[in-house]
Amino acid sequence: MSLPILFIFSVLLISSFPPHTAALDFCIADLTLPTGPVGYPCKNPANVTTDDFVYSGLGTAGNTSNSLFKSAVTTAFVTQFPGLNGLGLSMARGDLAPGGVIPMHTHPSAHELLIIIEGSVVAGLISSSDNQVYLKTLNKGDIMLFPKGLLHFQVNTGRVPVIEFVSFSDPDPGLQTVDNALFANSLPSEYIEKVTFLDDAQVKKLEAVFGGTG
């Protein structure tokens, strides 16, 4: 191999190969522009830096002490971590004080994988096909799958705080908590009762707790 000649051509090489000016290796969200059905327009690649690929917001515990559920969820979704835009992945951190819960909820747009870092929880999942309950005590290092759109929950049954991380199959998985959907908005209690069979007193009590005005 004739290296002296190779040296001469090394500058030419770069321009003789295709420019790839727009190869969508990634599409860092430009959050200042309107989002579309699959995400935000991309930040100009020329302005992308290493920090667009890194997020440090999950390193600190959420504050569980001022939560009704004694838990806190800290998210790294596309609006916090624009690098995830369009890529089919996101994360969150969960902190549950002893006795804390992650209330019954779904993620309309994503499957979830939970990993326990510290402590242990009872986690449950309910299938849509036949209302089957899948219930398990998870310890450090265990992972559990919650398929997209299915109701699930966790309870910290131990004496120590739980630290956990969850991964989602979408940069914006959504979160619909049953309590918030029923009792934290203007949905008329008349309709809540008709479509859930909950008693009026129960509905009114929880609307007071969650700030519902219906």
Rounded CA gap, 30 and 101, in Å? 35
Of these, 98, 158, 161, 174, which contacts a second copy (CB under 8 A)?
Answer: 174
Of these, 98, 149, 158, 161, which contacts a second copy (CB under 8 A)?
Answer: 149
Of these, 96, 97, 121, 144, which contacts a second copy (CB under 8 A)?
Answer: 144
**Per-residue contact track with a second copy, 82 to 121, x per CB under 8 A?**
-xxxxxxxxxx--------xxxx-xxxx-xxx-x-x----
Total number of residues that touch a second copy (CB under 8 A): 152
CB atoms closer than 10 angstroms to residue 119:
22
Q: Per CB under 8 A, does 160 bind a second copy?
A: no
Of these, 98, 147, 158, 161, which contacts a second copy (CB under 8 A)?
Answer: 147
Rounded CA gap, 61 and 139, in Å? 19
Q: How far is the CB of 152 from a second copy (least distance, A)?
A: 9
Q: Per CB under 8 A, does 162 bind a second copy?
A: no
Inter-residue contact 113 to 143 (CB < 8 Å): yes
Order of strands across the sheet with 152-155? 133-138, 121-126, 152-155, 101-106, 176-177
> Which residues make beta-bridge pairs with 125?
134, 152
Q: How far is the CB of 120 from a second copy (least distance, A)?
A: 12
> Which residues make beta-bridge pairs with 8?
none
Inter-residue contact 73 to 61 (CB < 8 Å): no
Q: How far is the CB of 130 from a second copy (least distance, A)?
A: 7
Binders in 16-75 for a second copy, by CB under 8 A: 16-27, 30, 33-42, 44-45, 48-51, 53-56, 58-60, 62-63, 66-69, 72-75
Nearest to 112 by CA among 140, 80, 76, 148: 148
Of these, 121, 153, 162, 189, which contacts a second copy (CB under 8 A)?
Answer: 153
Q: Per CB under 8 A, does 7 bind a second copy?
A: yes
Rounded CA gap, 92 and 77, in Å? 8
Question: What six digits make up the tokens of 145?
Answer: 């799958």
Q: How far is the CB of 163 from a second copy (least distance, A)?
A: 9
